[in-house]
Amino acid sequence: MLLKNKIAIVTGSRMGIGLSIAEEFAKDGANLVIADLDLKDCQKVATQLKKKYKIKTLAVKCDVSKKNQVDDMVKIAAKQFKRIDILVNNAGIYPFTDFTKLTETEWDKVLDINLKSILLVSQAAVKHMKPGSNIINLSSIAGFIAFPGLVHYCASKSGMIGMTKVMALELGKKKIRVNAIAPGIIETPGTKGINKKAMLANVPLGRTGKPLDIAKAALFLASDMADYITGHTLVVDGGWITH
């Protein structure tokens, strides 16, 4: 087991990609902090994973765009587990709005949740990380290519890729690795309204991704198998951005 007895925080982990990452980590022996906006959902996930995989879990309600909530979440996690070995910055949103109609409020909300949160959560977590720990940021192929109606989302995911590189440079001095994952079109509750059939024309492998595809990539980056990889963005998109 690659992550046995490791302590991992996964933000946005009550459903979708975050939930799949949390379960893959649990299956591999990691103890988990399930953090999201709905405490009841977090508690439900934490209880299920604890029972199924015989691990330790902690459910915490947290809006990752709010510094006071982030600090409290990390403080509670560190108090219970004494350290943090892995942080997965997964929480994010992607509301569609035309560029010409995008309001300042909408822009700020997406950038706060998707990008500022990386700063807030990572800064708080690093205080409790030892050499050998690592951070994984969930970016997107929208950090590399453009999607209409998602200028704020694309900006946040591009920014995350840049942040990942700088964080890797600076935290490398502490022997802490920082990497990102850039998913393509993934089957999650949040993508139900998207025309996936049209998008599949861009995917050489001819299928949409599953949350487990991203979870497997996260497991690799979080493990010692990737202990000489940092500052990298691993694209998991079925080949979309190869053409």
Residue type (1 letter), 147: F
Confirm if 18 and 90 have CB atoms less than 8 A apart. yes
Question: Which residues in 4-35 are b (16+ Cβ under 10 Å) and which e?
Answer: eebbbbbbbbbbbbbbbbbbbbbbbebbbbbb
Retrieve residue 237's tokens: 């998109």
66: which DSSP letter?
Answer: -
Retrieve residue 111's tokens: 């950038």
Helix (H, G, I), strand (E, B) or coil at 168: helix
Q: List the one residue out of 173, 67, 60 whose CA is nearest residue 118.
A: 67
Token pair 């990008």 is found at: 115
Q: List the one residue out of 12, 19, 77, 9 whose CA is nearest residue 210.
A: 19
Q: List the one residue out of 9, 227, 11, 47 whose CA is nearest residue 126.
A: 9
94 is an active site residue:
no
- Determine which one of 53, 94, 153, 228 is catalytic: 153
Retrieve residue 200's tokens: 């599949």
Distance from C-alpha of 37 to C-alpha of 62, rounded to nearest angstrom: 5
Distance from C-alpha of 126 to C-alpha of 43, rounded to nearest angstrom: 25
Distance from C-alpha of 190 to C-alpha of 186, rounded to nearest angstrom: 9
Give me the active site residues, please: 153
